[in-house]
Structure 1
Amino acid sequence: MRPLRTRLLAAFLILPALTLLLLVSDRRFVPPSPPEDKPRALVALGDSTISGEGAGDYERGTDGENGNWCHRSANALIHRTAVPGVERTINLACSGANADHVALTDAQHYNEGSQTRRLAEVARDNRITAVVVGVGANDDPRFSDIVMRCLWAWFLKDGPDCNRDAGKEWSDRVDRMVPKVTKALTDVRSVMRRAGYPDNSYTLVLQSYAAPVGTSVSPSLQNLNGCPFRSSDLRWVEDNAVGRLAAGLHRAADLVGARFLDMSRAARGHEACAGGTDTSREWFARLALDFNALRDNQRAEHFSQESFHPNARGHNQFGRCLGEFLTTKHEDAACLLGPDGSLHPVPNQAVRASG
């Protein structure tokens, strides 16, 4: 009888402890959830294509103050989305950023740390409904450098077209970019999960880049008055460079289950210098040189920073298309010009890598 009494006593003592342990365990492992009592918000991460470079009206502290040249604009596309029910649009992007500056790394850019770490803070104080990322061009493609290389080819009249060499290495550059952008998007997913957001509780969008210049350029402006590029290089940017870059970004989006918005054809007919004497038709800044900046050592190296970036009109159109896309269920779409003269997302038209 003693063994039975011993077992009963042990059970009597252990059961309450097990019950308490289960209760504590249940509380400890209840998965967190998004803060539904907070303002609904859209958040932008990435580089100049989404920060607002070229759109003017930059946020205080991002126009060279203390070495910060992120150029986050009040006119940036994230602020032009007009998605029903969204109360806040928050811009964490920074001009010149690459995938490392978005991802969970210790990399610093213009005195700012990881954008994804800042996203974690925003996720606690807001109910994030979508995270929109525009990044990759400043990684291996170094698209801005390619554009400047093409500009210098115009100056060097006797040299080869810039696309002769850039075109040969472009696909390899884009391929090397893909895993870096994939990691940045994976880190966004990871941070959002830790903040209590399951993947299906918000939308993650990766967008590509519109061509800043193209064959619609007015011949009278194919010089230092606006767009000093050779015709063959303009054709390469329009027909090859931005499309191949978009295909690589589409691959990165697919790898992490993000939605994809193709901007590669969004500005056709509205690139820099396409309007001739009517600049109101253009969605990109022309060659812009701030000669007053040359008098200031700290600003001198940024005297042409706004050149060939979307202007406020461009951001308004891109933001409108993004906002419409966010209200759909399409996994991918391309922003294309509609009969009304504005951009709209067209499903099943986004470029993909061949094969």
Structure 2
Amino acid sequence: MYGTTYLDPTTKKENGCHRSDVAEIATSGIPVDYKVNLACSGAETVHVLPAAAGGQDFKGQRPQADQLKDLAAKYDIKLVQLSISGNDLGFSKIIEDCVWQFLYGPVGRYCWKKWDWTVKQALAKEIPEKVGNVVDRIRSVMRQSGHRDGSYVLAIQSYPSPVPLSSSYRYAQGSSFTSNRYAPGGCPFYDQDTNWARKDVVNSIAHMLEGVADKKNLHYLDLQWAAQGHEVCADGVRQAKAGETLTSPTPGRNAEWMRFLSAGAARPQGQKEESFHPNSYGQLALGRCLGAFYDKVASGPHRKYECLNSPGQGPEGMHLKPLA
């Protein structure tokens, strides 16, 4: 496996692509000789397309499809797993705006009212067309490299929700910087905004991607409920406490699986861009999902699964259910 980290030549930050050493492909347990992580934090569909089809370099690296072409020319590819569309939709900008409104805006100015129409319009046509184009181009790249359709698994996955429903927060809503949702929680969202993000945005992205999978005859892994009960500020779990270290960490069954808001010296937890993304436990959970998913689709007739966790267990409790 390679592709875990590098220096972003644009920002000079380490881990410009934020590739984890326990990323889901790295910890999937899929029985192959090499597992390669080409994903890059912040990448949009244009950064996945081959250069010949308008693909663009991103953070000092060539388009991902061109990197895949190099690998396909050298190796017998067994699985190509896509996690795509969230950045085209601007999901991180939406989350950032929701945080800003909670901390700085007038009380009750909800971000969902600003973004709801834009999200629905993009998911109705623009985003699925972009994703479908990427799928077509990847298949073309693989064919050019001698990999016929059906000789490998081509799959797409949705996103785990980083936030719970409002009824499942362990902190009352409050407002601004005085709310426990800001500190110690690191989850400064209004109830209405978090319910919209969880029930509307995350769910709508999943349904859009499932639709693309159906149209393009892909395998599909639904992850929207994978972190349920382990989201940022979810009731029943917690952040690390004093005395817990990398060698003696918070037990996975008791931990949040998503990074809380990281902003400035007062709330250090990696770079700001990593906020509300899977932490180490979240990556391990997704790795379990991916490994089980590949086992199913590589040998069985069912194309679509959802991955769920088991209450009271850590990432080892992840399991699949077929999607109807």
> After TM superposition, is the score higher than 0.5?
yes
Name which of 194, 201, 207 aligns with 1:234.
Answer: 194
Shift in Å at residue 165 of structure 1?
2.6
Cα distance in 2 between the residues matched to 1:242 and 1:327: 26
Name which of 114, 133, 149 aligns with 1:165.
Answer: 114
**2:244 matched to which residue of 1?**
none
Q: Is 1:223 aligned to residue 174 of structure 2?
A: no
SS at match of 2:86: coil
Name which of 109, 119, 134 aligns with 2:58.
Answer: 109
Q: Deviations over 1:62-108 (max 9, x none)?
A: 5965887112221111111102x312110011100011111123412
What is the identity percentage for the equivalent residue pairs of Structure 1 and Structure 2? 32
- Listed as ranges, the gaps of 5+ residues in structure 2 are 173-179, 241-249
**1:54 matched to which residue of 2?**
none
Shift in Å at residue 278 of structure 1?
4.2
**1:134 matched to which residue of 2?**
83
Q: Which moved more, 1:234-243 or 1:202-211?
A: 234-243
Shift in Å at residue 167 of structure 1?
2.2
The count of corresponding residues between Structure 1 and Structure 2 is 286
**1:77 matched to which residue of 2?**
24
**1:143 matched to which residue of 2?**
91
**2:293 matched to which residue of 1?**
325
**2:261 matched to which residue of 1?**
287
Name which of 315, 326, 345 aligns with 2:283.
Answer: 315
**2:318 matched to which residue of 1?**
343
Q: Is 1:99 aligned to residue 45 of structure 2?
A: yes
Cα distance in 2 between the residues matched to 1:248 and 1:224: 35
SS at match of 2:87: coil
Cα distance in 2 between the residues matched to 1:290 and 1:131: 37
Shift in Å at residue 252 of structure 1?
1.6
Shift in Å at residue 276 of structure 1?
5.3
Cα distance in 1 between the residues matched to 2:190 and 2:226: 22
Q: Deviations over 1:221-257 (max 9, x none)?
A: 4124311111111111121110101111111222222
**2:34 matched to which residue of 1?**
88
Conserved in 2, the CA contact under 8 Å of 1:68 and 1:110?
Answer: no
Conserved in 1, the CA contact under 8 Å of 2:162 and 2:227?
Answer: yes
**2:203 matched to which residue of 1?**
243
**2:73 matched to which residue of 1?**
124
RMSD across aligned positions (CA): 2.6
Conserved in 2, the CA contact under 8 Å of 1:135 and 1:181?
Answer: yes
SS at match of 1:255: helix
Q: Deviations over 1:85-132 (max 9, x none)?
A: 312110011100011111123412112221001101111222110000
Shift in Å at residue 323 of structure 1?
0.7
Cα distance in 2 between the residues matched to 1:237 and 1:100: 25
Q: Is 1:185 aligned to residue 159 of structure 2?
A: no
**Pair 106,99 (structure 1): closer, same or farther in 2 beyond 3 Å:** closer
Cα distance in 1 between the residues matched to 2:14 and 2:280: 24
Shift in Å at residue 202 of structure 1?
0.2
Cα distance in 2 between the residues matched to 1:322 and 1:94: 18
**Pair 340,87 (structure 1): closer, same or farther in 2 beyond 3 Å:** farther
Shift in Å at residue 331 of structure 1?
0.5
Q: Which moved more, 1:212-221 or 1:111-120?
A: 212-221
For 1:246, give the aligned amino acid.
A
Shift in Å at residue 269 of structure 1?
0.8
Cα distance in 2 between the residues matched to 1:214 and 1:163: 16
Shift in Å at residue 308 of structure 1?
0.7
Conserved in 1, the CA contact under 8 Å of 2:24 and 2:286?
Answer: yes
Conserved in 1, the CA contact under 8 Å of 2:45 and 2:134?
Answer: yes
**1:28 matched to which residue of 2?**
none
Cα distance in 2 between the residues matched to 1:318 and 1:66: 26
Q: Which moved more, 1:317-326 or 1:335-344?
A: 335-344
Shift in Å at residue 217 of structure 1?
2.7
**Pair 229,339 (structure 1): closer, same or farther in 2 beyond 3 Å:** closer
Cα distance in 1 between the residues matched to 2:55 and 2:128: 20
**1:154 matched to which residue of 2?**
102
Cα distance in 2 between the residues matched to 1:193 and 1:348: 29
- TM-score, structure 2 normalization: 0.81
Larger radius of gyration: 1
